[in-house]
Amino acid sequence: MDRPIITVVGSFAVGLTLRSSRFPVRGETLLGSDFQQGPGGKGSNQAVQAARLGADVEFVAMVGRDQFADVAHDLYRQEGVGTRYLTATDECNTGVGFILLDTQGDNRIVLDPGANRLLTPALVDRAAERIGQSQVVLTQLEIPLETAIHTLRLAREAGALGILNPAPARPVPLNQLGLCDVITPNETELRILLGRTPDDPADSLDLCRELLAAGVRTVVLTRGAQGALVVSGDDVVSVPTFAVEAVDTTGAGDSFSATLAVSLAAGLGLADAVRRATAAGALTCTKLGVVPALPHAGAVDALLTQHKGNGGECHAFH
Return per-residue pLDDT of the chain as tens, 318 residues: 589 999 999 999 998 889 999 999 999 999 999 898 889 999 999 999 999 999 999 999 999 999 999 999 999 999 999 999 999 999 999 999 888 989 887 888 888 899 999 999 999 999 999 999 999 999 999 999 999 999 999 999 999 999 999 999 999 999 999 999 999 999 999 999 999 999 999 999 999 999 999 999 999 999 988 899 999 988 999 999 898 888 888 899 999 999 999 999 999 999 999 999 999 999 999 998 889 999 999 999 999 999 875 544 544 433
Neighbours of 104 (CB within 10 A): 11
Domain boundaries, the chain: 5-24+34-317
Per-residue pLDDT, 8: 98
Q: What is the reported pLDDT for 312?
A: 46
CA-based nearest residue to 148, from 159, 137, 157: 137
Name which of 21, 45, 24 is nearest 250 in CA terms.
Answer: 45
Q: Which residues pair with 229 in a beta bridge?
A: 221, 238
In the set 74, 254, 272, 301, the catalytic residue is: 254
Beta strands in the chain (DSSP E): 5-9, 13-19, 33-40, 56-63, 86-88, 95-101, 107-112, 136-140, 161-165, 182-183, 218-222, 228-232, 235-239, 315-317
301 is catalytic: no
Model pLDDT, residue 1: 57
Report the C-alpha gap between 13 and 71 in whole angstroms. Answer: 9
The pLDDT assigned to 250 comes to 81
| Selection from 299, 306, 307 nearest residue 281 by Cα | 299
| CATH H-level superfamily of 5-24+34-317 | Ribokinase (3.40.1190.20)
The span from the CA of 54 to the CA of 57, in Å, is 9
Q: Dump pLDDT digits (tens) for 301-313.
A: 999 999 875 544 5
